[in-house]
Amino acid sequence: MKLYRFLTGPDDASFCHKVTAAMNKGWHLFGSPTYAYDAEAKIMKCGQAVVKDVDGQEYEAGVTKLSDW
């Protein structure tokens, strides 16, 4: 199965650790990161899409928990 996640977080080390943890679990960066100002929270936020291929498994919407992979 092919999996897709979009990771988001504040522009700080916690976001970098989130992306690093995903890559260390076999996820790969997909496309360019995003960066936007959250006017309500008055902070910059980051986003990064990641993808992963998992052999021998089938994707089931509502059942497959992406963060488990």
Sequence-distant (6+) residues with CB within 8 A of 47 are 6, 7, 8, 33, 34, 35, 36
- Reported confidence tier of residue 16, pLDDT bands at 50, 70, 90: very high
31-40 per-position pLDDT tens digit: 999 999 999 9
CA atoms of 17 and 3, how far apart (whole Å) = 20
Q: How far is it, in rounded angstroms, from Cα 1 to Cα 64?
A: 10
User: Is the model's pLDDT at 30 over the cut of 90?
Assistant: yes
Q: What is the pLDDT of residue 11?
A: 94
55: left (phi over 0), alpha (psi -120 to 50) or beta: beta
Report the 10 Å Cβ neighbour count for 22: 20
Q: In the structure encoding, which two tokens stand for residue 48, read together? A: 């990064």
Q: What are the extents of the domains in the chain? A: 2-57
